Amino acid sequence: MKRLASAAAAALALTLSLAACTAGPAAPAPAPTTAPGATTAAPPKAAEVTWVAPSAVFLPKEEVAAYAVAVEMGYYKEENLTVKAINADGSVAAVQAVGAGSGSVTPSDLGAGLSGVAKGAPVKVIGGLVTTWPWSIAVPEGSPITDAKGLAGKKIGVISLASGSAPFARAFLQAGGVDPNQVQLLPVGLGSQAATALTSGAVDALALFNQAYSTLESSGIELSYLKNPADFDGIRSLSFTANAGQLDADPSVFERFLRATYKGMTFSAKHPDKALEMGYKVFPQILGGKDKASRFDADLASLKAWLADATPPESELLTYQWGDIPSGDWDVTQQYAIDAGQIPGKVDLAKIWYPSLLKGANDFDRKAVLAQADAYKP
């Protein structure tokens, strides 16, 4: 079956590296994208925001669709924000960095946010991003492994032990009646590293997200996917988790951040090809030293695979409300986090969920953003 598819900063021992710090619109003098009828007021107070990416940027995903577009189209500049991006080794590390104040906000797995709050990290979730559960287990085409029970005694490749793929693999095994301690999880990264680990037999299966599999399949690797249990439906993945102290000090900064970021997502949903062009400019490391022409088609397919889990159909872009996480999705995600060993019991939503910014974050002119997407020329 094919698919393109806590505040102890000194003790975190994270390795954070600067990934990008650029500003300024690529498109000439874009039209304002405030909501129709909004009053013109003095510019908001200037602020700096540090975006912590849960991994190095070498696949075109949220750092392209949300961050790079918001930078290049001037959406952060419109909000008088300077936003820089740094890296962490996985969602757990990203949440730790935000809790410690090394970063302001991260688009990390919601389970990592729940785990952080359960351990006392001063973080809060301010809005959703990926709405469809993107994780699955894959094996080489023709493998005798067809379900969780077939993984007993085997090795599963995960991105890293601090990424969302490790708790996913444990929860998948648990749901399938397999003791996770019977299976070895090995960090294999993404892309060619993961491909080599699987094709060489170093691991028997991979636990990755849809976009990562799309990239492997585009390189000619044939995969079969193990079916996720039905109770995984509704689990949330990437969501924006913010430093609680910074949030309490000035909530408007994070509202403005979300608004600009969701503008970027709206643009990307309409024209992923143009978003990818901006991604190459802000994150040239995506190209891996190769020329754009040799990578563009595969990278565009990869970005579209990521967007499929994070954006609505084009017909809904004018009305879609970005960032909401319904109570039912919270319930399912909390149970998943318990099963995955991320949290010992359910977390009080009042301690983690801060949805009051979403009304303002969605207060922008979608028609103007879509028109900019149509008019933009790389």
Same domain, residue pair 119 and 50: yes
Same domain, residue pair 116 and 195: no
CA gap 334, 178 in Å, rounded: 20
Classify strands 205-209 and 135-140 as parallel, antiparallel or unpaired: antiparallel
Same domain, residue pair 225 and 281: no
Which residues sit opposite 105 in a β-bridge?
Answer: 51, 242
Which residues sit opposite 156 in a β-bridge?
Answer: 185, 205
Same domain, residue pair 125 and 270: yes
Report if residue 359 sits inside a domain: yes
Same domain, residue pair 199 and 157: yes
Same domain, residue pair 369 and 250: yes
| pLDDT for the residue 338 | 92
Identify which of 119, 136, 128, 370 has the alpha carbon closest to the alpha carbon of residue 241.
128
| pLDDT for the residue 86 | 97
Report if residue 2 sits inside a domain: no
Asked if 281 and 26 touch (Cβ cutoff 8 Å), the reply is yes
Token readout for 178 is: 């397999």
Q: What range does the domain containing 194 cover?
A: 135-232
Report if residue 196 sits inside a domain: yes
DSSP 141: T
Render pLDDT for 213-235 as a digit per residue (tens, 0 to 9).
Answer: 988 998 899 999 999 998 888 89
| pLDDT for the residue 191 | 87
CA gap 32, 218 in Å, rounded: 38
Classify strands 238-243 and 123-128 as parallel, antiparallel or unpaired: antiparallel
| pLDDT for the residue 340 | 87
Q: Is the pLDDT of residue 314 over 60?
A: yes
Report if residue 142 sits inside a domain: yes
Report if residue 306 sits inside a domain: yes
Q: Please state which of the ranges 13-22, 46-55, 307-316 shows the lowest mean pLDDT.
A: 13-22
CA gap 169, 296 in Å, rounded: 31
Token readout for 170 is: 């444990």
How large is the average pLDDT for residues 189-211? 94
Confidence of residue 32 (pLDDT cuts 50, 70, 90): low
Asked if 320 and 129 touch (Cβ cutoff 8 Å), the reply is no
Asked if 172 and 228 touch (Cβ cutoff 8 Å), the reply is yes
How large is the average pLDDT for residues 179-199? 95
Identify which of 311, 352, 312 has the alpha carbon closest to the alpha carbon of residue 330.
352
Asked if 214 and 305 touch (Cβ cutoff 8 Å), the reply is yes
Q: Please state which of the ranges 34-43, 196-205, 282-291, 347-356 shows the lowest mean pLDDT.
A: 34-43
Q: Is the pLDDT of residue 7 over 80?
A: no
Same domain, residue pair 220 and 296: no
Sheet holding 81-87, edge to edge: 17-20, 81-87, 47-53, 105-109, 238-243, 123-128
Classify strands 205-209 and 155-158 as parallel, antiparallel or unpaired: parallel
Render pLDDT for 245-289 as a digit per residue (tens, 0 to 9).
Answer: 999 999 999 999 999 999 999 999 999 999 999 999 999 999 989
Report if residue 51 sits inside a domain: yes
Identify which of 225, 194, 193 has the alpha carbon closest to the alpha carbon of residue 4.
225
Same domain, residue pair 28 and 77: yes
| pLDDT for the residue 35 | 64
Can you tell me whether residue 215 is helix, strand or coil? helix
CA gap 305, 290 in Å, rounded: 22
Count how many domains the chain has.
Answer: 2
Last residue in a domain, options 197, 232, 267: 232
Asked if 88 and 106 touch (Cβ cutoff 8 Å), the reply is yes
Can you tell me whether residue 208 is helix, strand or coil? strand
Which residues sit opposite 106 in a β-bridge?
Answer: 241
Render pLDDT for 317-372 as a digit per residue (tens, 0 to 9).
Answer: 999 999 999 999 999 999 999 988 899 999 999 999 999 999 999 999 999 999 99
Confidence of residue 30 (pLDDT cuts 50, 70, 90): low
| pLDDT for the residue 79 | 98
Q: Specify the higher pLDDT residue, 346 or 16.
A: 346
Asked if 88 and 2 touch (Cβ cutoff 8 Å), the reply is no
Confidence of residue 41 (pLDDT cuts 50, 70, 90): low
Q: Specify the higher pLDDT residue, 277 or 9.
A: 277
Report if residue 324 sits inside a domain: yes
**45 CB contacts (<8 Å, ≥6 apart)?**
80, 250, 252
Same domain, residue pair 245 and 345: yes
Same domain, residue pair 348 and 201: no
Report if residue 30 sits inside a domain: yes
DSSP H helices, 219-290, are 244-249, 251-270, 272-282
| pLDDT for the residue 33 | 74
What are the C-alpha distances in Å from 235 to residues 59, 118, 258, 329?
23, 18, 21, 6
Last residue in a domain, options 213, 232, 251: 232
Asked if 119 and 100 touch (Cβ cutoff 8 Å), the reply is no
| pLDDT for the residue 215 | 86
Which residues sit opposite 187 in a β-bridge?
Answer: 158
What is the chain's mean pLDDT, rounded? 90
Q: Please state which of the ranges 28-42, 92-106, 161-175 shows the lowest mean pLDDT.
A: 28-42
| pLDDT for the residue 125 | 98
| pLDDT for the residue 211 | 87
Last residue in a domain, options 232, 256, 271: 232
| pLDDT for the residue 294 | 93
| pLDDT for the residue 36 | 58
CA gap 229, 355 in Å, rounded: 29
* Domain at 167, CATH number: 3.40.190.10
How large is the average pLDDT for residues 95-106? 98
Asked if 52 and 88 touch (Cβ cutoff 8 Å), the reply is yes
How large is the average pLDDT for residues 155-172? 92
| pLDDT for the residue 40 | 52
Same domain, residue pair 168 and 282: no
Tell me the pTM: 0.83
Same domain, residue pair 93 and 222: no
Q: Is the pLDDT of residue 3 over 60?
A: no
